[in-house]
Homo-oligomer: A and B are copies of this chain.
């Protein structure tokens, strides 16, 4: 049924070896011969068999992307950055979703990787996640996004800094009772929240402000979670006057809770997030913008480069800049 390299070789009156070389752009092929082969291949509508090529060469031309979520804004946006790079590089993108600590039943990713891809991109698994380490243990070229592990290439933002400037912004507005909505209790934390919390601590400490453990709540990086967390904070005997939410989506949920309590963001309580989510402008949310698509793009570029130069490049930990955008959800302390 299918045209093979043999058919092209016969039609061109050369060997399959020459066709292979010509079509892959290898050197040491006569220019005229190459052109003729290319024309004939096109005429015959020849398409190379990836399976055969992979078997013979040992390279798969594929990269797996491992992510805990697909439909959430951060992950989808990272993924779109990755995809554009891999498409330009002519590599196949295998998408694999994995369970998170809270998550549903799913296959562990590591066994599905072996002999199947040349490299792996992992998006924001918690640094202590066993699945992450099973993947790393495979020893294949890997690049991390939104997590950092020593000795492994990664692309992240400076989460400590992000947490610090978000908090500092609230402090600058005169707030002293500052609450924080993080993701989860400490043992299940992402790198990001761990570091953002440290930034929070640093800013608070730097201003000589006490951190009230009663003013921390968990929002699990979801809208609904953010709503619950904010509700918990608001029903304290003495609620915060400002809240730092570690993601915009949790901040959105927090806004919902505030509305239910008749409180206005930026007036009654100030609220700042991190992300620069598509909807943050619409909801007038102050936030620390991170270049999410670039996280994916740059990690993918680094991985492709490493695969091409099949030498172990030094494991670089790249950090991208962030920027505070002040909107209406934060304002001076009113009481």
Cβ-based interface call for A263 (8 A)? no
Residues of B within 8 A of A49 (CB): 55, 115
Are A114 and B47 touching (Cβ within 8 A)? yes
A76-B76, A93-B94 known; A52 vs B50 contact (CB < 8 Å): no
Residues of B close to A279: CB separation below 8 A: 223, 252, 279
The reply to whether the CB of A71 lies closer than 8 angstroms to some CB of chain B is: yes
Q: What CA separation (Å) do A252 and B293 show in the bound complex?
A: 22
Question: From residue 275 to 333 of chain A, which have CB atoms closer than 8 A to chain B?
Answer: 278-279, 281-283, 293
| Cβ–Cβ contact A80 & B97, under 8 A | yes
- Whether B87 lies near A50 (C-beta < 8 A) is no
Among the listed B97, B116, B223, which residue makes an inter-chain contact with A84, where contact means beta carbons less than 8 Å apart? B97
- Quote the shortest CB–CB distance from A82 to chain B (angstroms): 9
Give the residues in chain B near A283, CB-CB below 8 Å. 282-283
* A68-117 CB contacts (< 8 Å) to partner B: 69-73, 76-77, 79-80, 83-84, 87, 92-97, 106-107, 111, 114-116
> Is there a chain B Cβ closer than 8 Å to A2's Cβ?
yes
A94 surroundings in chain B (CB, below 8 A) = 92-95
Known interface pairs A51-B55, A256-B282; 18 further A-B residue pairs with C-beta atoms within 8 A, sorted by A's residue number? A47-B111, A48-B115, A49-B55, A50-B51, A50-B116, A51-B115, A70-B80, A70-B83, A71-B73, A71-B77, A79-B95, A80-B97, A87-B106, A92-B94, A93-B95, A223-B279, A253-B282, A255-B282
